[in-house]
Amino acid sequence: MVLEKYEVRQIRSAATYEWLIKVHYAKRIPNITDAFGLFCDRELVGVITYGKPASPFLCIGVCGREFADHVYELNRVCLLNNKKNEASFFVAKTLRLLSKPRIIVSYADTAMDHVGKIYQACNFIYTGATKPRTDVDTGEKHSRHISGLDYSKRKNRSSKHRYVYFVGDKKQKKLFAQSLKYQKQPYPIGFSRNYETPTLPATQMELF
């Protein structure tokens, strides 16, 4: 892959929707505050989205209540071709484009045979795996969009590898690192399985 051919630009959130529904395995649009596109010869070949986590407890749990407002989640990485080094190149570029300071959290789903190789290549901090649990079954919708939830209907939530990255100047990064509530752990070893992606129509620069 010739990385010089690629361009990373901020795009409108709505420009990611078709990708997140048709390409990403989750088939659901998360909360999006920042969206980025990966372009090759002006064609959109990937999207990345960031957003505020739905749980305030997650935000507090990373670096404490003092820095909870700085916590954002890298909640979708979606590539059409997923060529070698493409994902880590894309993620690294978007981290530089984010407003500062921020604490970025992202997860690699063990149910999809992901160990987080992308985040390891970008020098994220690995903080262990979440425990398996059950959630309210809301179908394709997020619980924040549903009233009168039936809490008796549950579905399993798989264990996920949790990664953290600090965006800011040296002083801010040091402060975040000192406040990190999770213990830094060695990267998990394994191979991440890719999933097949459907063909989407070529998308040009109107997305900006």
The rounded distance, in Å, linking the Cα atoms of 20 and 24 is 5
pLDDT of residue 110: 81
- Give the tens place of pLDDT for each residue, 166-183: 999 999 999 999 999 999
Closest CA to 63 of 188, 168, 186: 168
Query: Which DSSP helix (H) or strand (E) runs through 174?
Result: helix 170-179
Please check the confidence at residue 161 and state whether its pLDDT lies above 70: yes
What would the two tokens of residue 148 be?
């009168």
Distance (Å, rounded) from C-alpha 32 to C-alpha 50? 6
pLDDT digits (tens, 9 = 90+) for 2-36: 555 899 999 999 999 999 999 888 899 999 999 99
Does residue 1 surpass a pLDDT of 70? no
The two tokens of residue 35 are: 């969206």
Instruction: Flag whether pLDDT at 49 surpasses 60.
Output: yes
At 111, the pLDDT band (50, 70, 90 cuts) reads confident
Q: With helix as H, strand as E and coil as C, how does 30-89 read?
A: CCCCEEEEEEECCEEEEEEEEECCCCHHHHHHHHCHHHHHHEEEEEEEEECCCCCCHHHH
Q: How far is CA 110 from CA 36, 162, 165, in A?
A: 25, 11, 20
Please name which of 90, 12, 75, 97 lies closest in space to residue 45, comparing C-alpha atoms. Answer: 90
What's the pLDDT tens digit per position in 58-83?
999 999 999 999 999 999 999 998 88
Q: Domains in the chain, start-ordered, CATH in brackets?
A: 50-133+154-190 (3.40.630)
Identify whether the C-beta of residue 29 lies closer than 8 Å to the C-beta of residue 21. yes
Q: Are 80 and 197 in contact (CB under 8 A)?
A: yes
- What's the pTM? 0.81
